[in-house]
């Protein structure tokens, strides 16, 4: 059995069935991305995988145990920065450290908080409130907060979706580095609507078909050597094949073409960009 296992997951909102028979296995230490169109059910799937929401049918287990609520050893980063506006960057991160390590001394917690913020390059901005930070800096705080609790599992819901392309590329690199230098192996389940982001970061990618009744395709492994960057994957042959596979899955499992055309008619540049609604 895999570390994280979803079997036959279905979810309805009223009469609308959003997810149908979703199966997902994630190994310990793996970085898995789920790509899909807007409103296909990605957030619903991540909230079920992280125990924030319950499936109507099917099962979710982590470490061989049925999931009951958000796991203690996990952290989550949302697309919206979800920082407390009246707290500084330091206080936002320290709150999570306090909850994760209640037995630690204040000095040790402060040290951990500071180290996490320095890791994401915010050593000089710790005393600033979210309103005084740029979007990229706020998302850095959210990432620092997630890593500050030494998570075993990291759930990411389009964490860079609201950022410009350059900041997004920088943060992708920082995320990859943080996963590598983390104190213990981090298992990551990330949602993105950006295929190249998935290729840069993941060991395996799953495409979620367009809803309603969205379901996951088979795993697409990414064996490109690391470190990877947006530039190195742009013209890589394997990356091109992966983009085509994802586009084919999304178009063949959609009631209307997800990428406005047949897979072979889609210019490769379009596939490098974000999956359209
Ligand atoms: N709490 C809810 N009650 C009713 N319908 C919901 C609820 N949450 C989501 N939905 C609907 O379920 C579908 C999937 O929503 P979800 O947020 O999971 O999609 P998504 O792929 O994350 O979308 P996006 O790309 O915009 O983030 C949408 O049609 C949405 O309107
Ligand atoms: Mg979403």
The reply to whether ligand 1 has any atom less than 6 angstroms from the CB of 274 is no
What is the tens place of the pLDDT at every residue in 65-84?
999 999 999 999 998 878 99
Whether the predicted pLDDT of 145 surpasses 90: yes
Ligand nearest to the CA of 40: 1
Q: What's the confidence (pLDDT) of residue 271? A: 44
pTM of the model: 0.91
Q: What's the confidence (pLDDT) of residue 44? A: 97
Reported confidence tier of residue 256, pLDDT bands at 50, 70, 90: very low
C-alpha to C-alpha distance for 208 and 143, rounded to whole angstroms: 25
Residue 53 has which token pair?
Answer: 């929401």
Residue with tokens 């990356």: 239
Tell me the angle at which helices 106-119 and 89-100 cross, rounded to the nearest 10 degrees.
120
Average model confidence (pLDDT) for the chain? 90
Whether the predicted pLDDT of 260 surpasses 50: no
Of all protein residues, whose CA lies closest to atom 16 belonging to ligand 1? Answer: 41
Q: What is the mean pLDDT of residues 221-242?
A: 94
Of all protein residues, whose CA lies closest to atom 25 belonging to ligand 1? Answer: 38
Percent of residues, the chain, with pLDDT higher than 90: 75
Whether the predicted pLDDT of 109 surpasses 90: yes
Of all protein residues, whose CA lies closest to atom 4 belonging to ligand 1? Answer: 13
**Ligand 1 atom at minimum distance from 193 CA:** 25
Report which of residues 65 and 277 the model is more confident about. Answer: 65
Q: What's the confidence (pLDDT) of residue 264? A: 38
- Considering only CA atoms, which of 186, 124, 116 is closest in space to residue 151? 186
**Which residues are within 5 Å of ligand 2 (an ion), measured at CB?**
42-43
C-alpha to C-alpha distance for 222 and 202, rounded to whole angstroms: 7
Ligand nearest to the CA of 274: 1
Locate the DSSP E strands across the chain: 4-13, 16-26, 31-36, 57-62, 65-66, 74-77, 153-157, 187-192, 204-208, 220-221
Q: What's the confidence (pLDDT) of residue 259? A: 42
CA atoms 24, 29, 33, 39: torsion sign: positive
Q: What's the confidence (pLDDT) of residue 162? A: 83
**Ligand 1 atom at minimum distance from 214 CA:** 14
Contact between 117 and 174 under an 8 Å Cβ cutoff? The reply is: no
**Ligand 1 atom at minimum distance from 40 CA:** 21
| Ligand 1 center–CA 111 separation, angstroms | 39
Least confident of 73-82, 101-110, 189-198, 257-266: 257-266
Instruction: Look at residue 131 and give its three-state secondary structure.
Output: helix
Least confident of 105-109, 161-165, 213-217, 252-256: 252-256
Mutational pocket test of ligand 1: of 41, 190, 212, 258, the residue with most ligand atoms within 8 Å of the beta carbon: 41
Whether the predicted pLDDT of 143 surpasses 50: yes
| Ligand 1 center–CA 183 separation, angstroms | 34
Q: What's the confidence (pLDDT) of residue 269? A: 42
| Ligand 1 center–CA 55 separation, angstroms | 14
Percent of residues, the chain, with pLDDT higher than 70: 91
| Ligand 2 center–CA 86 separation, angstroms | 26
Contact between 145 and 92 under an 8 Å Cβ cutoff? The reply is: yes
Nearby residues of 121 by Cβ (< 8 Å), 6 or more positions away: 140, 174
Least confident of 2-6, 47-51, 130-134, 230-234: 230-234
Residue 43 has which token pair?
Answer: 């957030």
| Chain-centre distance for alpha carbon 20 | 21
Reported confidence tier of residue 276, pLDDT bands at 50, 70, 90: low
Whether the predicted pLDDT of 255 surpasses 90: no
Reported confidence tier of residue 261, pLDDT bands at 50, 70, 90: very low
| Ligand 2 center–CA 270 separation, angstroms | 21
Q: What's the confidence (pLDDT) of residue 54? A: 96
């Amino acid at each position: 059995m895999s570390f994280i296992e979803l079997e036959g997951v279905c979810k309805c909102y009223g009469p609308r069935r959003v997810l149908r028979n979703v199966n997902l296995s994630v190994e310990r230490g793996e970085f898995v991305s789920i790509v899909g169109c807007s409103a296909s059910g990605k957030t619903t799937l991540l909230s079920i995988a992280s125990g924030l929401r319950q499936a109507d049918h099917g099962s979710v287990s982590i470490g061989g145990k049925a999931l009951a609520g958000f796991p203690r050893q996990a952290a989550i980063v949302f697309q919206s920065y979800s920082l407390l506006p009246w707290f500084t960057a330091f206080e936002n991160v320290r709150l999570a450290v306090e909850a994760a390590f209640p037995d630690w001394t204040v000095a040790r917690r402060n040290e951990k908080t500071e180290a996490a913020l320095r890791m994401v390059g915010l050593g000089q901005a710790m005393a600033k409130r979210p309103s005084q930070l740029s979007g990229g800096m706020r998302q850095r705080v959210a990432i620092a907060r997630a890593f500050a609790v030494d998570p075993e599992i990291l759930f990411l819901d389009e964490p860079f979706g609201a950022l410009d392309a350059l900041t997004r590329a920088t943060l992708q690199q920082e995320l990859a580095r943080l996963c590598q230098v983390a104190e213990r192996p981090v298992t990551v389940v990330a949602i993105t609507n950006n295929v190249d982001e998935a290729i840069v970061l993941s060991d395996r990618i799953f495409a979620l078909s367009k809803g309603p009744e969205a379901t996951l395709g088979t795993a697409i492994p990414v064996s490109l050597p690391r470190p990877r960057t947006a530039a190195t994957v742009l013209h890589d042959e394997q990356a091109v094949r992966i983009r085509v596979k994802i586009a084919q899955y999304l178009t063949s499992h959609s009631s209307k073409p997800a990428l406005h055309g047949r897979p072979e008619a889609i210019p490769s540049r379009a596939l490098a960009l974000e999956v359209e609604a």
